């Protein structure tokens, strides 16, 4: 099947006024052979987010949540190293099995658990109940139960970075001079 695909790919034609764009994405870079790599002239590696970008995403994701005033987004961003973009993207949505989603859900349940404990202890005399705002400490406690999906210095991440150095945009392969060595 791959041979048919490669043959069709080589036969793609367009008018001068039209362009054909082939976009590919994979988590299995090491399964790509040289023929595929050669046909994809631009290879862009998307590494794990740094703390600054995690903070931007967390601010968007938690914008509608009831957070304490002066919530420590910078501290939360620093504490979530290893959480991938997809973990962050779906953290507070309905996507199942995301580590950061599980972290947010676990943190969001902290005030609920506290409220239930208060009711068990007999504060039934109060007619009005309300949940407190989420605190950074809720996320710290939740993080003890929910771990990141990727370790920044994991072997697999280091192998992906090496692949990027060799084949990626700006990698060593693109720096080799054209022509014969002397």
pLDDT digits over 147-174, tens only?
777 766 678 778 888 888 888 876 665 5
Structure tokens at 90: 């779906």
How many domains is the chain built from? 1
Q: What pLDDT, on the 0 to 100 scale, is given for residue 90?
A: 42
Instruction: Tell whether 15 is covered by a domain.
Output: no
Distance from C-alpha of 39 to C-alpha of 9, rounded to nearest angstrom: 9
Structure tokens at 150: 């990727």
Q: Which of 111-115, 123-127, 137-141 is predicted least confidently?
A: 123-127
pLDDT at 123: 59
User: Tokens in use for 37?
Assistant: 């790599």
* pLDDT of the residue at 182: 47
Average the pLDDT over 144-148 and give the result: 79
129 falls within a domain: yes
Mean pLDDT of 130-149: 85
| pLDDT at residue 136 tops 90 | yes
Rg value, the chain, Cα: 24
Residue 41 belongs to some domain of the structure: no
Q: Is the pLDDT of residue 30 over 90?
A: no
Q: Is the dihedral of CA 44, 151, 68, 115 positive or negative?
A: positive
Report helix, strand or coil for 152: coil
Instruction: For residue range 9-28, list pLDDT tens digits in order.
Output: 666 766 777 777 778 888 78
- Residue 75: pLDDT band by 50, 70, 90 thresholds? very high
Question: Cα separation of 27 and 101, whole Å?
Answer: 21
Of the candidates 103, 102, 111, the one whose C-alpha atom is nearest the C-alpha of residue 135 is: 111
CATH of residue 98:
1.10.8.60
pLDDT of residue 153: 67
Q: Is the pLDDT of residue 103 over 70?
A: yes
Structural domain harbouring 125:
51-143
Asked if the structure places residue 71 within a domain, the reply is yes
Helical ranges in 92-154 per DSSP H: 99-120, 136-143
pLDDT-based confidence at 67, cuts 50/70/90? very high
Domain membership flag for residue 45: no
> Is 96 within a domain?
yes
pLDDT category at 94 given cuts 50, 70, 90 is: very low
Report yes or no on 57 lying in a domain. yes
60 within domain boundaries: yes
Identify the pLDDT of residue 122: 76
Q: What is the average pLDDT score of the chain?
A: 76
């Amino acid at each position: 099947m791959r041979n048919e695909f490669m043959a069709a790919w080589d036969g793609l034609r367009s008018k001068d006024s039209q362009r054909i764009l082939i976009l590919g994405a994979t988590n299995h870079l090491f399964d790509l052979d040289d023929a595929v790599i050669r046909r994809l002239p631009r290879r862009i590696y998307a590494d794990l987010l740094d703390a600054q970008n995690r903070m931007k995403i967390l601010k968007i994701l938690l914008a509608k949540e009831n957070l304490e005033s002066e919530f420590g987004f910078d501290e939360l961003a620093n504490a979530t190293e290893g959480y991938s973009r997809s973990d962050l993207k779906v953290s507070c949505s309905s996507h199942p099995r995301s580590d950061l989603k599980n972290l947010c859900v676990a943190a969001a349940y902290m005030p609920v658990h506290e409220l239930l404990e208060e009711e068990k202890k007999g504060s039934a005399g109060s007619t009005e109940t309300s949940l407190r705002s989420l605190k950074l400490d809720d996320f710290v406690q939740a993080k003890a139960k929910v771990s990141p999906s990727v370790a920044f210095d994991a072997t697999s991440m280091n192998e992906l970075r090496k692949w990027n150095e060799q084949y990626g945009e700006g990698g060593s392969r693109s720096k080799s001079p054209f022509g014969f060595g002397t």
